[in-house]
Amino acid sequence: MVLQAKKTGVLNDEPRGAIVRTAFAAAALVCSYIVAWPASAHLSIDKLWVEFEEGDRERNDLIIRNDSEDRYYVSIAVSEVLQPGTENETRVTEADPERLGLLVTPNKLVLEPGAIRSIRLVSLNSGLTSDRVYRVLISPQVGAIKTASGVDEVRGIAIKMLAAYDVLVVDRPTQRSSDIIAERDAGALTLRNQGNTNVLLAGGSVCPASVGNTPDEGRCRAIAARRLYAGNLTTVELGAATDKVFITTKSGPSAAEVEQVF
C-alpha cells in the first residue's frame, strides 16, 4: 500500500525567507499490524521570490531539480493576489496571460531523476501605478511507490514527503516608493506603508530608550519579519512609551538592507 504526504513550501510574505511546511497523511489498516518505510523524495528550487521592475528585466527563470530517485510529474499554476497582506486577500486565476499580466511556461513537465529544468516567467505588464502580486505554485506528483518486506505476513506503507513551492512574484511600477510612516502612542508603534510598492520588514528590535545606536540582544526584544504591501500596516507592541524601535527593510531580493530607527 502507498501513502503520499505532501509538504507545502509557502513563502507567506514572511522573510520571510523561511519556508513554512505542513504535512498531511491518511492511512488505511491493511493487516493486523503495519510497518511504515520512509521513502526519499525531494524537489529543489533556486528561489522563492521573483521581482520584475517595469522597463528593466521582463523575463526571469525558476530552476527546479529532481533530487529523488522518482520521476516527477510537475504542474505549475499561476494566480494573482488581490489586496495582499489584508484580511480581504484573495487569489484569482485568469486563463489569458495578457489580462493576467504574467506568462508562465510550461504549465506541466516531466522531471526525471537528477534532471534540471527551467520555468520561464515573462512580465506582460505596462504602465503600472502600483505593484501587481502573483503566486506561482509548483507541485510535484509521483507514480506508484514500491515497498518491500522479507516477511510475507507484514505489509507496509511507504510515505513520500513531497514539497510544493508557492513562489512570490512581484511586478513593480517604474515610479515607485515604499513610504513607511510611523505613528506612536503609549503602548505601540504603528508602521504604515503609504507608498505604491511593497517593502519587506526583514527584522527589527524593540529596545529601552537607554540603548545606543545599535540594538543590545540582552536588553532588546526581536520583531518578527513581515512584508508591508502598499496600504498595509503593522503594529509593534512597546514595553514603554519611550522605547526605541529598530527596523531593517529590504525592497527586493537583490536590494541592500536599510536600517531605520523610530
Tens digit of each residue's pLDDT (9 = 90 or more) over 134-174: 999 999 988 654 545 555 554 555 566 677 899 999 999 88
Q: What local confidence, expressed as pLDDT, does residue 178 receive?
A: 81
Q: What local confidence, expressed as pLDDT, does residue 170 receive?
A: 94
Q: Do domains 2-172 and 180-261 have the same CATH topology?
A: yes
Q: Which residues contact 40 (CB under 8 A, 6 or more apart)?
A: 68, 69
pLDDT (mean) for 20-48 = 50
Pull the grid cell for residue 237.
Answer: 507592541
Q: What are the sequence ranges of the domains in the chain?
A: 2-172, 180-261
CATH superfamily of 2-172: Immunoglobulins (2.60.40.10)
CATH number of 180-261: 2.60.40
Q: What is the mean pLDDT of the chain?
A: 80
Q: How far apart are CA 77 and CA 109, in angstroms?
A: 12
pLDDT (mean) for 95-118 = 95
Residue with cell 501605478: 129
Q: What local confidence, expressed as pLDDT, does residue 2 receive?
A: 39
Q: What local confidence, expressed as pLDDT, does residue 26 receive?
A: 35
172: which strand partners? 53
List b or e across 40-76, with b for residues whose CB sees 16 or more CB atoms inside 10 angstroms. Answer: ebbbebeebbbbbbbeeeeebebebebebebebebeb
pTM to 2 decimals?
0.76
List b or e across 163-174, with b for residues whose CB sees 16 or more CB atoms inside 10 angstroms. Answer: bbbbbbbbbbbe
At residue 97, the 3 state secondary structure works out as: helix
